[in-house]
């Protein structure tokens, strides 16, 4: 069987597939996910990658092609397990502050930023969001982190996960960006 097909069949995630293909191509690391998605969708691009596999410099250029980004799928919703972990971390951080809330001006500034963001919208159809709706939660959600925006903005220790588009040292709330 073709080694590429074997790797694809045996890989359990796109990350693992990128790592294993990077090993096969002797890159010293994973191939970019955008390149992997393009290879899956564009057979001509796949052929170009395979044709350049003997020339590491040329291969790296093909894999780094900026037009590969167009092949990335839309960002998936945050999974239930990850979301539960984030909720637990937020609760523990809130407890460490003595269950304090951010001041009114901070809450309003943060919420205004969320409302103007392209990631702000109705909750996805995930199980935890359905449960929250049953319990009366009607808030909008950040598609990047999965949090209910009007809840998160109240927690003084929390931060927006996105960089400000014009001020890269800040997040979209206008606060220092944290990795």
42/95 same-domain check = no
Would you say residue 178 lies in a domain?
A: no
Alpha-carbon distances, residue 14 vs 27, 30, 34, 46, 88 (angstroms): 17, 10, 10, 16, 27
Which residue bears the tokens 């199980």?
127
67/86 same-domain check = no
25/55 same-domain check = yes
Which of 19, 43, 71 marks a domain boundary?
71
* The predicted structure's pLDDT at residue 56: 93
* The predicted structure's pLDDT at residue 92: 85
Range of the structural domain that residue 132 is part of: 80-152
pLDDT tens across the length of the chain (179 residues): 456 656 666 767 777 888 888 998 899 999 998 888 788 777 788 889 989 989 999 999 999 999 988 877 655 556 666 777 788 888 888 888 999 999 999 999 999 999 999 999 988 877 677 777 777 777 899 988 989 999 999 999 999 999 999 999 999 999 999 98
* The predicted structure's pLDDT at residue 1: 45
66/85 same-domain check = no
22/67 same-domain check = yes
User: The pTM is what?
Assistant: 0.56
The number of distinct structural domains making up the chain is 2
Interatomic CA distance for residues 83 and 91, integer angstroms: 12
Q: What is the DSSP string of 113-142?
A: HHHTSTTEES--S-HHHHHHHHTT----EE
* The predicted structure's pLDDT at residue 163: 94
Interatomic CA distance for residues 115 and 120, integer angstroms: 6
Would you say residue 44 lies in a domain?
A: yes
């Amino acid at each position: 069987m073709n080694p590429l097909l074997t790797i694809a069949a045996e890989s359990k995630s796109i990350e693992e597939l990128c790592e294993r293909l990077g090993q096969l191509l002797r890159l010293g690391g994973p191939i970019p996910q955008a390149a992997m998605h393009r290879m899956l969708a564009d057979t001509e691009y796949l052929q170009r990658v395979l044709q350049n596999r003997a020339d590491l410099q040329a291969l790296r250029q093909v894999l780094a092609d900026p037009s590969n980004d167009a092949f990335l799928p839309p960002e998936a919703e945050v999974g239930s397990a990850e979301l539960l972990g984030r909720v637990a971390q937020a609760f523990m951080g809130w407890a460490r502050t003595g269950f304090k809330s951010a001041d009114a001006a901070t809450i309003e500034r943060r919420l205004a930023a969320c409302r103007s963001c392209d990631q702000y919208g109705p909750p996805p159809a995930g199980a935890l969001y359905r449960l929250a709706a049953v319990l009366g939660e009607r808030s909008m959600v950040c598609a990047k982190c999965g949090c209910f925006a009007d809840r998160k903005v109240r927690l003084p220790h929390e931060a927006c996960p996105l960089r400000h588009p014009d001020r890269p040292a800040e997040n979209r709330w206008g606060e220092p960006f944290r990795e």
